[in-house]
């Protein structure tokens, strides 16, 4: 969430206030949802729903932003957020690579997010990078800021879903264009060399951002004082961004263990958008994207059977619970016209780009690199280039380009 979104929202509640009605409502929805999913699908699916809620709470309390972290580095060389991402990725590869090499984790078969580098990925990631800065959020940021009470991000989410459906409709054409074979460093090189390369690159990026930040400002950004301490801070936030990085890496590993695959977000948006298209008379079931037996079953079945969907629902409610505990859940329908236009355009770019690029900042970047897939690194580089352009476009929509990290997330 960006500073412009905060400006569009009313002032948060006092830090001492827990918004009990919203907190109790979110908790009740989580509990009832888990019971319903457990009965209708399976206890494992219910656990994944609650795992999504844990991810939403961590994202909100740590204000863990991908979009804003890249933006403040582009605009003013402040690299705290990027260094947190490198820590998150470092922990993730240490956990993921041995499990993926073994092919199973605690008796559960596991596979990584490994996709090819090609025109589809390069174009999609670039479009996503521009869109994330115009929209003011990435995939995870859109969900958790929407759950936290941002009405503007609900608008982004709606067009994110539309863009995802369009990407699914065109996916077969993009797949026919130039691409390389999928490359897994874990499978091709082995765990040791793959770890050495990835950890070395994480360290190089972290040290590089620190050097550039000191060169620009003379020192790294100082830690901000926390309004709460002890258990109150754990339950109500805000958390240090590094604590969020550690928690997200661990929770993605739990996702791998429970689901058999890493954390993803946007494949659910393509499913929701395609189901909506069918509801209004568009024959989305005939799109090659859904031609497999699994695809047809997903279109015809309940979204509660889709792992990514139930985790996305959990993220929204987990963030709502976190916002209410923090005393900051305060939705407002007031969205400036230019900001709303940016939400529409940015949302469409996010959805279309994510589908073409085999995922978003979570499924392609975080989980792709954690899976040892070379496409995750390509996604990062190209999406960052798109973010440079998107950052420069933000003032056209009346959106601020902040110069220092803020407790706002994406």
Q: What is the pLDDT of residues 304-335, one digit of tens each?
A: 999 999 999 999 999 999 999 999 888 888 89
User: Per the domain annotation, does 224 fall within a domain?
Assistant: no
Average pLDDT over residues 368-390: 98
Average pLDDT over residues 273-290: 97
User: Per the domain annotation, does 402 fall within a domain?
Assistant: no
Of 184, 204, 202, give the one whose Cα is nearest residue 194: 184
Helix, strand or coil, per DSSP, at residue 332? coil
Least confident of 7-11, 45-49, 174-178: 7-11
- 373 strand-pairing partners: 184
**Enclosing domain of residue 22:** 3-218+232-397
Residue showing tokens 């079931």:
285
Asked if pLDDT for residue 410 goes beyond 70, the answer is no
Tens digit of pLDDT for each residue in 32-80? 999 999 999 999 999 999 999 999 999 999 999 899 999 999 999 999 9
How many Cβ atoms from other residues are within 10 Å of residue 227's Cβ? 14
Distance of CA 92 to the CA centre of its chain: 15
Average pLDDT, the chain: 92
Average pLDDT over residues 258-262: 97
Instruction: Yes or no: say if 161 and 272 are a contact pair by the CB < 8 Å rule.
Output: yes
Instruction: Yes or no: say if 349 and 137 are a contact pair by the CB < 8 Å rule.
Output: no
Average pLDDT over residues 202-231: 90
Asked if pLDDT for residue 93 goes beyond 90, the answer is yes
Residue 227: predicted pLDDT? 79
Question: Up-side HSE of residue 153: CA atoms within 13 Å toward CB?
Answer: 28
Which pair of structure tokens corresponds to residue 382? 């190209």
Of 144, 81, 104, 121, give the one whose Cα is nearest residue 363: 121
Average pLDDT over residues 353-373: 97
User: Per the domain annotation, does 377 fall within a domain?
Assistant: yes
Confidence tier at 235 by pLDDT (50, 70, 90): confident
Residue 214: predicted pLDDT? 96
CA distance 289 to 286: 8
User: Per the domain annotation, does 403 fall within a domain?
Assistant: no
Residue 236: predicted pLDDT? 87
Residue 406: predicted pLDDT? 54
Residue 310: predicted pLDDT? 98
Entry pTM? 0.93
User: Per the domain annotation, does 406 fall within a domain?
Assistant: no
Q: Is the peptide bond before 123 cis (omega within 30 degrees of 0)?
A: no
CA distance 406 to 26: 26
User: Per the domain annotation, does 383 fall within a domain?
Assistant: yes
Confidence tier at 226 by pLDDT (50, 70, 90): confident
Asked if pLDDT for residue 87 goes beyond 70, the answer is yes
CA distance 381 to 364: 12
Percent of the chain with pLDDT over 70: 94
Percent of the chain with pLDDT over 90: 84
Confidence tier at 233 by pLDDT (50, 70, 90): confident
User: Per the domain annotation, does 387 fall within a domain?
Assistant: yes
Average pLDDT over residues 180-186: 97
* The total number of structural domains that make up the chain: 1
User: Per the domain annotation, does 40 fall within a domain?
Assistant: yes
Instruction: Yes or no: say if 305 and 188 are a contact pair by the CB < 8 Å rule.
Output: no
Residue 4: predicted pLDDT? 36
Asked if pLDDT for residue 363 goes beyond 80, the answer is yes
Residue 16: predicted pLDDT? 52
Least confident of 14-18, 105-109, 261-265: 14-18
């Amino acid at each position: 969430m960006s500073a412009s979104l905060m400006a569009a929202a009313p002032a948060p509640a006092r830090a001492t206030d827990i918004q009990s009605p919203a907190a109790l409502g979110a908790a009740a929805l989580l509990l009832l949802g888990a019971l319903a999913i457990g009965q209708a699908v399976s206890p494992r699916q219910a656990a994944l729903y609650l795992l999504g809620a844990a991810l939403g709470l961590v994202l909100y309390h740590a204000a863990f932003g991908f979009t804003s972290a890249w933006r403040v580095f582009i605009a003013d060389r402040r690299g705290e957020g990027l260094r947190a991402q490198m820590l998150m990725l470092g922990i993730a590869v240490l956990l993921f690579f041995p499990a993926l090499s073994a092919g199973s984790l605690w008796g559960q078969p596991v596979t990584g997010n490994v996709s090819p580098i090609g025109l589809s990925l390069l174009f999609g990631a670039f479009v996503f990078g521009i869109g994330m800065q115009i929209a003011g959020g990435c995939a995870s940021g859109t969900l958790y800021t929407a759950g936290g009470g941002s009405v503007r991000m609900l608008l982004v989410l709606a067009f994110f879903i539309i863009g995802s459906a369009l990407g699914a409709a065109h996916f077969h054409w993009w797949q026919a264009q130039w691409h390389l074979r999928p490359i897994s460093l874990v499978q091709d090189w082995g765990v040791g060399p793959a770890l050495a390369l990835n950890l070395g690159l994480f360290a190089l990026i972290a040290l590089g951002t620190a050097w550039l930040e000191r060169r620009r400002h003379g020192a790294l950004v100082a830690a901000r004082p926390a309004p709460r301490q002890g258990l109150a801070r754990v339950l109500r936030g805000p958390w240090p961004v590094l604590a969020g990085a550690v928690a997200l890496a661990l929770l993605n590993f739990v996702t791998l263990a429970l689901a058999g695959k890493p954390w993803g977000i946007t494949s659910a948006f393509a499913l929701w958008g395609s189901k909506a298209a069918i509801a209004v008379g568009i024959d989305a079931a005939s799109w090659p994207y859904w031609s497999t037996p699994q695809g047809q079953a997903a279109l015809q079945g309940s979204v509660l059977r889709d792992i990514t969907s139930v985790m996305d629902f959990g993220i929204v409610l987990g963030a709502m619970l976190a916002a209410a505990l923090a005393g900051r859940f305060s939705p407002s329908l007031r969205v400036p016209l230019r900001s709303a236009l940016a939400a529409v355009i940015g949302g469409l770019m996010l959805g279309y780009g994510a589908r073409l690029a085999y995922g978003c900042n979570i499924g392609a970047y975080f989980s792709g690199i954690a899976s040892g897939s070379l496409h995750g690194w390509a996604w990062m580089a190209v999406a960052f280039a798109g973010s440079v352009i998107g950052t420069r476009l933000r003032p056209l929509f009346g959106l601020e380009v902040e110069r220092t990290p803020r407790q706002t997330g994406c």
